[in-house]
């Protein structure tokens, strides 16, 4: 896929811009010619900026496999600036900031419909990478839905949920009582939501309580509403956390905070992990829920008394940069789905890299039972 970029600037500037990476999935093709400012930027970091006065495509997505139409859905910078900032931070690197649109175009690049993306977000919008959009149908109406997000904090991002109907109209799907969706451990600019039979669920980390919070929403025919307001529980109470038996060593404790989560502590009150439940979906992907500041190092199949699943090993930081702690430790996650009911995710870590810690966790999993 060719990448076109015409700029009325000195040859030296064009040479510098050509160093941008080219091995990016769905490398974008601008819908129109992009024109950079003729003003030569200085070499100081503060003014390392190129003004953009023509559309530049940051995400270009072929819809043929989904809609059987030769169409593309794109996120386009229509007016703004490009700059680089290599100081450590959440937006370190290349940045595009300004006014953005979601555009539906045909194979010739003719725009069929568009919406101004900035009007859906309160703060200035900035993207610091190219990205793909993830599509699905969350309300069961046969139209494709998708999320577009922005960085919010180290805990995650804020997302808007959009739909593209068969006429080509792009609009936001309403979620009652929520201006946006807060999610942790997801793609930064677009991500799939965990589907269930009535809608979707998502997870974010709440610093105030020190744990993950699961939000579930269902479609009532007009809008998504909170699962608790809808009055139809997505998870069967027979399979919530309180129904799970997990034999622990003497002095250890499984503390159930609510039906969706519990924590594991040792005889000294040190937290070693916990159990979280998610509504059942066929295509549950642990990578969407993977904690920040961790790297997946191993994935393997496991069998437990309550069902088969996957065991994930993560290499996690001992602390944030601000804490002054260095090094890493292993964290283990067991994902065990109960068909059409619920998904149990069990976490365990002794903040070391000892093989004995993994062996102990596997021993705990072999004691799992569901109460009758």
Given a contact cutoff of 8 angstroms between Cβ atoms, the answer to whether 354 and 232 are in contact is: no
Domain-terminating residue out of 202, 233, 264: 233
- Number of DSSP helices (H) and strands (E) in the chain, helices first: 4, 24
Residues 21 and 110 in one domain: yes
Q: d(Cα 359, Cα 20) in Å, to the nearest integer?
A: 45
Q: Are residues 207 and 239 in the same domain?
A: no
Nearest residue to 197 (alpha-carbon basis) of 146, 233, 147: 233
pLDDT of residue 2: 39
Co-location of 282 and 224 in the same domain: no
- If asked whether residues 143 and 120 sit together in one domain, one would say no
pLDDT recorded at residue 282: 77
Classify strands 194-195 and 181-183 as parallel, antiparallel or unpaired: unpaired
Number of domains the chain contains: 3
Is the CA virtual torsion 220, 225, 230, 233 positive or negative?
positive
Q: For residue 259, what pLDDT is reported?
A: 63
Q: How many residues does the chain have?
A: 372
199 and 254 co-located in one domain: no
pLDDT tens by residue, 252-299: 988 765 566 788 999 988 889 988 887 777 777 777 666 656 789 999
Number of Cβ within a 10 Å radius of residue 242: 12
Query: Of 76, 108, 133, which residue sits at a domain end?
Result: 133
Q: Are residues 212 and 267 in the same domain?
A: no
CA–CA separation, 305 vs 370, rounded Å? Answer: 9
243 and 267 in a common domain: yes
Do 150 and 186 share a domain, yes or no? yes
| Full strand arrangement of the beta sheet holding 199-206 | 194-195, 199-206, 211-219, 224-226
Query: Which of the listed residues 100, 133, 166 is the one where a domain comes to its end?
Result: 133
User: In the chain, which residues have pLDDT < 70?
Assistant: 1-47, 197, 208, 228-239, 256-260, 288-293, 319-325, 372
**Do 43 and 158 belong together in one domain?**
no
Q: Do residues 100 and 177 share a domain? A: no
**pLDDT at 90 (0 to 100):** 85
Q: What is the four-CA torsion angle of 293, 298, 299, 300, rounded to 10 degrees? A: -150
- Write phi, then psi, for 14 (nearest 5 degrees): -65, -40
User: Are 123 and 12 in a shared domain?
Assistant: yes
CATH number of the domain bearing residue 347? 3.40.1000.10
Please report the pLDDT score of residue 134 as a whole number.
93
- pLDDT value of residue 153: 83
Pinpoint the alpha helices (H) of the chain: 11-17, 64-67, 227-230, 355-365
The pTM of this model reads 0.53
Classify 240 as helix, strand or coil. coil
Both 21 and 102 in a single domain?
yes
Q: Which domain holds residue 289?
A: 235-372
């Amino acid at each position: 896929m060719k990448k076109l970029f015409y700029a009325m600037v000195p040859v030296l500037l064009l040479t510098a811009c050509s160093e941008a990476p080219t091995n990016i999935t769905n490398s974008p093709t601008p819908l129109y010619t992009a024109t950079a400012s003729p003003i030569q930027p200085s070499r100081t970091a503060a003014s390392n900026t190129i003004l953009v006065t023509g559309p530049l495509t940051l995400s270009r997505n072929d819809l043929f496999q989904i809609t059987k139409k030769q169409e593309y859905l794109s996120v386009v910078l229509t007016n703004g600036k490009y700059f680089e900032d290599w100081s450590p931070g959440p937006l370190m690197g290349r940045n595009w900031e300004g006014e953005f649109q979601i555009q539906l175009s045909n194979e010739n690049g003719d725009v069929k419909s568009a919406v101004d993306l900035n009007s859906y977000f309160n703060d200035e919008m900035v993207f610091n990478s190219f990205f793909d959009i993830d599509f699905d149908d969350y309300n069961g109406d046969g139209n494709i839905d998708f999320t577009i997000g922005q960085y919010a904090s180290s805990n995650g991002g804020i997302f808007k949920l959009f739909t593209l109907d068969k006429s080509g109209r792009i609009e936001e799907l309403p979620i009652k009582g929520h201006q946006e969706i807060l999610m942790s451990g997801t793609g930064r600019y677009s991500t799939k939501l965990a589907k269930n039979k009535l809608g979707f669920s998502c997870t974010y980390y709440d610093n105030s309580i020190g744990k993950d919070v699961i939000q579930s929403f269902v479609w009532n025919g007009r809008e998504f509403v909170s699962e608790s307001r809808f009055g139809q529980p997505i998870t069967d109470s027979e399979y919530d956390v309180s129904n799970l038996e997990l034999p622990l060593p003497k002095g250890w404790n499984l503390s159930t905070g609510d039906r969706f989560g519990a924590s594991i502590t040792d005889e000294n009150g040190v937290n070693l992990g916990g159990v979280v439940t998610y509504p059942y979906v066929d295509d549950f992907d642990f990578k969407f829920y993977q904690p920040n500041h961790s790297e997946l190092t191993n994935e393997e199949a496991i069998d437990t008394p309550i069902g088969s699943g996957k065991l994930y090993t993560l290499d996690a930081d001992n602390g944030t940069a601000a804490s002054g702690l260095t090094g890493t430790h292993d964290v283990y996650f067991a994902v065990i789905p109960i068909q059409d009911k619920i998904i149990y995710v069990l976490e365990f870590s002794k903040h070391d890299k000892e093989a004995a810690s993994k062996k102990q966790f596997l021993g705990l999993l072999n004691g799992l039972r569901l109460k009758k």
